[in-house]
Structure 1
C-alpha cells in the first residue's frame, strides 16, 4: 500500500489537517493554521500508539512539504516533532518560513 497516496488534506476556514487512517481505525494527523494564502503553521502531530515507530508522522510532514512546494507556501513548524524533522531535513529549507 502506498501510504503517501492515502494521506488526505482537509481545510476549512483557515484550519487544516493532513490525515492518514491507520489499520486499527484511528487517524494519524498533523494540524495546521493558515495565516495567509502562502503560509501555514503546523501546530500539532498525532500518531496512535498502534502505528508509532513506522514513520507515519514523517510521511505526514513530507506530504505537507510536498504540497507547500507545489503551491508556493511556507511552513512554520510550531509542533516540536515537525520542527525536529525540519532540522533533520536540510533539503526542506526552501519551504521553511524565515
Structure 2
C-alpha cells in the first residue's frame, strides 16, 4: 500500500491510501505558517487493525521534519501517539493546554 499526498496550496493537506481506486485511509491536516494542525485520521472499518493509521502517522512525522514544520495534534489518535513516547517528538510537538482527550477523529487510540 502506497501512501499518497495531496495539498491545496499548502494550506490543507492529506496523506491517504487507495486500494483498487477507493480511498481506504486518510490523515488530514491544515498548514498555517510553520505549523501543521493534524485534525483527522480515518481508516475504513474492514482495514482496521493492520497498522495503516500508524503508517500515515509516521509519514506525517517524516514530512514535518523534512519541511521544518511543527505539529499540533488535534486528532486524538495522533495526540495519543505523541503522548506514548513524548521524547521522540519533542522537536515537532506543539503542546497545548487545550489538547483533545476524546475521540476527535476516526481512529481510536490503543
Deviation of 1:88 after TM superposition, in Å, equals: 1.4
Indicate the structure with greater helix content. 1
CA distance in 2, matches of 1:62, 1:79: 14
Aligned residue pairs, count: 93
Contact 1:24 1:50 in 2 (8 A): no
Partner of residue 57 from structure 1, selected from 46, 53, 74: 53
CA RMSD of superposed structures (Å) = 1.7
CA distance in 2, matches of 1:28, 1:22: 10
Deviation of 1:94 after TM superposition, in Å, equals: 1.3
CA distance in 2, matches of 1:27, 1:95: 27
Q: Which residue of 2 aligns with 1:73?
A: 69
CA distance in 2, matches of 1:23, 1:80: 29
Look up the SS of the partner of 2:31 in the other structure: strand
CA distance in 2, matches of 1:67, 1:26: 20
Q: Which residue of 1 aligns with 2:31?
A: 34
Q: Which residue of 1 aligns with 2:13?
A: 16
Summarize deviations over 1:36-58 as a string: whole Å, max 9, x none.
Answer: 1x111001111000110111111
Q: What 5-or-longer segments of structure 1 have no aligned partner?
A: none
Q: What 5-or-longer segments of structure 2 have no aligned partner?
A: 96-110
